[in-house]
Every structure is written in C-alpha cells, then in structure tokens.
Amino acid sequence: MEHAQPLPLRPWKTAAVVASAIAVVELGVLVVLAVGAIAEPVAHEAKRVAVERMLTPVEPRKRPAPGKALPRAETAVVVLNGNGIAGAASTAAARVKSFGYVIGSVGNAPRSDYRRSLVLFRPGREAEARRLAADLKIRIVAPLDGITPKQLLGAHVALVLGAR
C-alpha cells in the first residue's frame, strides 16, 4: 500500500494564497468605506425628505359640493340585517346592487329588533343616503346611530333592515 504524501507548497502557490488573502482584506475595507461614504448622505437626504413632508400642509380630500351626491357606482353601502330573518341582508344587498350601488359588506346589525328599515349615513353623506332611501322606498334616513363609522368599514351609508 502506498501512502499519499502531502505535496509541498510551491512558492507560487504560497504567493497566490497570500495575495488572495490581502485582496479579501482590501475588499472588506473598501466595502466598509463605501457603506460609510454612502450611508451618511442617504441618511441626511431621508431626514430632509421626512422633515419636508411633515411641514408640507396636506391638501384636503376632494369632496362633492354640499348636497351633491356621489354617483351610485361610487357609493358604498353596508347592508345589515336588523330583523333577524335569515338571508334578509343578502337579498336586500342584491336589490341595492341592482340599482348600481357598491356593496361594502353584508352582515347583522347590533340588534335584531328593528321594526322599520332605515338608512344611516356618515357625516357628509346625507345626499347619498336620501337617494338610496328613495330608490328603496324607505322613509327613515338618519345620521349614524348605534353604528360607528369604523363599523361601516369605509362605506358611505348603511341600510339596516327592519321588520317592515
């Protein structure tokens, strides 16, 4: 059996290993210097932009003129079952959608003992609520009562179904 003997390092191999190690160290130093040189200006620019945005006044959202309703296709409606009859909200949502409204969500009202159906509106959306009520022949239109704007999930009005 022959035993393999390690090959002796030749001078050119030693020189290549040493040169590679020096190159790796130099690359590391260059990367650290580059990050340091780039990071400071980038941080200053980010801070300048953040301060500028904080000091720039925010333009108010465009709202329709008072009394002018959004088009039906842009009016979101939450349909809530307030009468306890299973499936009433989904049936009403289909009817609301047939008029061209956007259905925001369908679910149950906080209570299930509403005697009459009503349309509730968030501030500034009375015109949309009155139009929806007229489309559905509902007499009661009122500001949000018993439902928070957060519960509307971004919708403009809520249709609460009652027994009649």
Copy the structure tokens of residue 36: 């340091």
Is 93 in the same domain as 129? yes
The owner of tokens 């959004």 is 70
Is 30 in the same domain as 78? no
| pLDDT score at 154 | 84
* Cα–Cα distance measured from residue 141 to residue 107, given in angstroms and rounded to the nearest whole number: 19
Domain that holds residue 127: 72-161
Is 50 in the same domain as 130? no
Q: What is the pLDDT of residues 61-70, one digit of tens each?
A: 555 556 588 9
Is 28 in the same domain as 79? no
In a domain, 1, yes or no: no
Tally of domains within the chain: 2
In a domain, 127, yes or no: yes
In a domain, 5, yes or no: no
- Residue spans of alpha helices (H) in the chain: 11-55, 88-98, 126-136
Indicate the pLDDT class of residue 97, thresholds 50, 70 and 90. Answer: very high
Sorted by sequence, the CB contacts under 8 Å of residue 155 that are 6+ apart come out as: 76, 77, 78, 104, 105, 122
Q: What is the pLDDT of residues 28-72, one digit of tens each?
A: 888 888 887 787 777 778 777 777 777 766 555 555 556 588 999
Pairing type for strands 140-143 and 118-121 reads parallel
List the single range of 8-12, 77-81, 99-103 with lowest mean pLDDT.
Answer: 8-12
Q: What is the CATH number of the domain that holds 128?
A: 3.30.70.2390
